[in-house]
Homo-oligomer: A and B are copies of this chain.
Amino acid sequence: MSQRKQIQIGTVVGQSEVAANTFIISIREPQLVRQVKPGHFVNVSLPSRTNANLLKRPFSIYGTDKEAIQILYKVKGDVTTVMTTLQKGDEVELLGPLGNTFTLPKKKKVLLVGGGIGVAPLIYLYDRLKAHNEVKILHGVRTRQEAMVWANLPVQTHVDEEVGHYVCAGFEKVIRQHEAQHVVTCGPIPMMKEIVEASARAGVSCEVSLEARMACGFGVCLGCVIETKSGYKKVCSDGPVFDGALLW
């Protein structure tokens, strides 16, 4: 019988707080490292911690090194709160890689736009695009405390205290200014909608990465659907990456 995919047990290698309530956790799981591509997510649970929260939690891949994956996460509720207490050596249950992946263009000017924690998958995407493309990253955050320090990355951070989330008013201008040929965005829905519509007006392709509440993460529960122009689609297996034009 052939080797079957298993639930992986990863081991925490390290964790640090990088902004207000925002952490990077590094989890050793060599097999997963070999399989992941930008856009993929993993479904995480914490054995021996929160056993009343049964459902796994989806997180994008933020980065990889030789043997470990990194997740950039923000504390939201039960599981992410407990996640911050994980220490080196603790075990984490991982299901993945899950979902589809970002398009990987070549020789293009690419603009990546992350809102808040939505920047996570874009950093990993940047890593795989930078060799063959000219890539810029815009990161919108609500407050100064949420801003992150980006070493060696072409990130422009926008702090938008007033509006409540990073809305790219006049984003068409931004596209033209950067002469972008391809846009990728992940963040709050209103922001992504704005960017998809601006990209359409500017005539450039735009991919988005969506979130939804999930039970299974691999397409069987039908719980994570979002409405698209061609009916409900499953974020976990039809996405999380969608062509913006399909959505708005």
Contacts and interface: CB of A to CB of B under 8 A. Distances in A.
Copies in the complex: 2
A51 B48 contact: no
Main secondary structure of the interface of A (DSSP, over half): loop
A57 to B, nearest CB: 15
Interface string A36-79: 00000000000011111100000000000000000000000010
Interface size class of A (residues with CB under 8 A): 10 to 19
Contact of A51 (B52, B85, B87): B52
A82 interface: yes
A49 B52 contact: no
Contacts of A52: 51-52
Interface of A: 48-53, 78, 82, 85, 87
Given A48-B50, A49-B49, 10 more contacts: A48-B49, A48-B82, A48-B85, A50-B51, A51-B51, A51-B52, A51-B53, A51-B78, A52-B52, A87-B87
